[in-house]
Amino acid sequence: MTTRELLRDAADRLRAAGVASPEHDAGELLAHVLGTTRGQLFLAPDLTPDHARRYDDLLARRAAREPLQHLLGVAWFRHVEVEVGPGVFVPRPETELLAGWAIDHARAIAATGETPVVVDLCTGSGVIAKSIADEVPQAQVHAVELDPPAHAWAERNLAGTGVELRLGDLATAFDDLAGRVDVLVSNPPYVPLEAWESVAVEARDHDPHLALFSGDDGLDAIRVIATRGLVLLKPGGVVGVEHADVQGESAPAVFSRGARWEEVRDHRDLADRPRFTTARRPRHGEDAVEGWSA
């Protein structure tokens, strides 16, 4: 069987199992087995019997809807890669836009000669923090993760990056940075509990539930971020938070309520779906927390 025929049969097998990107995944898995890249597959040597057995095993696991990234052991995101596996949320491509927004703001501050202070709440694998540290080396980047297994993955991925990682709750972390943060960014849990059945099998069965679900309406963590952001950010500092595509109105409303945030705006992803909300802490510097609840 030629490589082309092998890939075609593998893609058919994954498609029948309901995998969303069968051709891509079949190619990535074969490249992984052969120690090459998907673009170089047709230059790779023929499969040995051992290669064939390993490939068949990986295809079976992917057909059972084990995440592709778990099978490869890594996930790619912007210009970096992170190790992932059971116990940590697998980074999604759409989150690259939120990371890019945070990077742009940090880079603009760095261009003035100042050191941007960036905090990544709910860091998971550490991928957003790692991207910011990679693309804005002048930034002072901090990250926090509540779940110990996910924190262990982040610790591995952020080693040597200069990012300061903590194990803790987003609601109480970084008291020592209160009023000093320029950019606050988060990809928090935002799936409503009632939406269990609608979650993709790969996420529902393999991502930690702590990274997925956030109360009856999916906005509990975002409410905490809206409150905590007023504590951590300096006057004029900005916050960006990812949300579900059905929360394009409800997520911004968390920040609009009470008029404690300015420049509240929602942003769409490359598929033109609502994806993340940004806002700015008022520049007047008043105590914006007292007497207000998201």
Is residue 289 very low, low, confident or very high in pLDDT (cuts 50, 70, 90)?
A: very low
Residue ranges covered by each domain of the chain: 3-64, 78-280
Task: Please indicate if the annotation marks 145 as binding a ligand.
Answer: yes
What does the pLDDT average to over 172-190? Answer: 94
Pick the more confident residue, 193 or 19: 19
| Inter-CA distances, 246 with 162, 191, 200, 218, Å | 36, 10, 15, 10
What does the pLDDT average to over 200-204? Answer: 61
Which of the 8 DSSP states describes residue 176?
G
Share of the chain above pLDDT 90, in %: 69
Task: Examine the pLDDT at 197 and tell me if it is beyond 60.
Answer: no
Determine the Cα–Cα distance for residues 261 and 239; give it in Å rounded to an integer: 10
Determine the Cα–Cα distance for residues 9 and 23; give it in Å rounded to an integer: 10
Is residue 43 very low, low, confident or very high in pLDDT (cuts 50, 70, 90)?
A: confident
| Residue 264 parent element (H or E) | strand 262-268
In this structure, which amino acid lies at residue 213?
F
Determine the Cα–Cα distance for residues 28 and 38; give it in Å rounded to an integer: 6
Task: Examine the pLDDT at 141 and tell me if it is beyond 50.
Answer: yes
CATH second-level architecture of 3-64?
Orthogonal Bundle (1.10)
pLDDT in tens, 10-32: 999 999 999 989 999 999 999 99
Q: Which of 151, 174, 284 is nearest to 229 (CA)?
A: 174
What does the pLDDT average to over 166-171? Answer: 95
Q: Which of 280, 289, 267 is nearest to 239 (CA)?
A: 280
Residue-level pLDDT at 38: 87
What does the pLDDT average to over 177-182? Answer: 97
Q: Tokens at residue 57, please?
A: 């095993």
pLDDT in tens, 62-115: 999 988 999 999 999 999 999 999 888 889 899 999 999 999 999 999 999 999
Side-chain-side CA neighbours of 99 within 13 Å: the count stands at 23
Task: Please indicate if the annotation marks 91 as binding a ligand.
Answer: no
Residue-level pLDDT at 288: 42
Task: Please indicate if the annotation marks 157 as binding a ligand.
Answer: no
Identify whether the C-beta of residue 135 lies closer than 8 Å to the C-beta of residue 123.
Answer: no
Residue-level pLDDT at 206: 54
Task: Examine the pLDDT at 293 and tell me if it is beyond 70.
Answer: no
Task: Please indicate if the annotation marks 55 as binding a ligand.
Answer: no
Q: Tokens at residue 293, please?
A: 């609840």
Q: What is the CA radius of gyration of the chain?
A: 21
Q: Which of 254, 196, 246, 177 is nearest to 221 (CA)?
A: 254
Share of the chain above pLDDT 70, in %: 87
Task: Say which CATH class 78-280 falls into.
Answer: alpha beta
Q: Tokens at residue 180, please?
A: 């000093």
Q: Is residue 176 packed enough to be buried (19+ CB in 10 Å), middle (13-18) or exposed (0-12)?
A: exposed
What does the pLDDT average to over 189-194? Answer: 68
Task: Please indicate if the annotation marks 189 as binding a ligand.
Answer: yes
Residue-level pLDDT at 1: 66
What does the pLDDT average to over 194-216? Answer: 58
The angle formed by the CA atoms of residues 186, 85 and 118, to the nearest 5 degrees, is: 25
Residue-level pLDDT at 287: 44
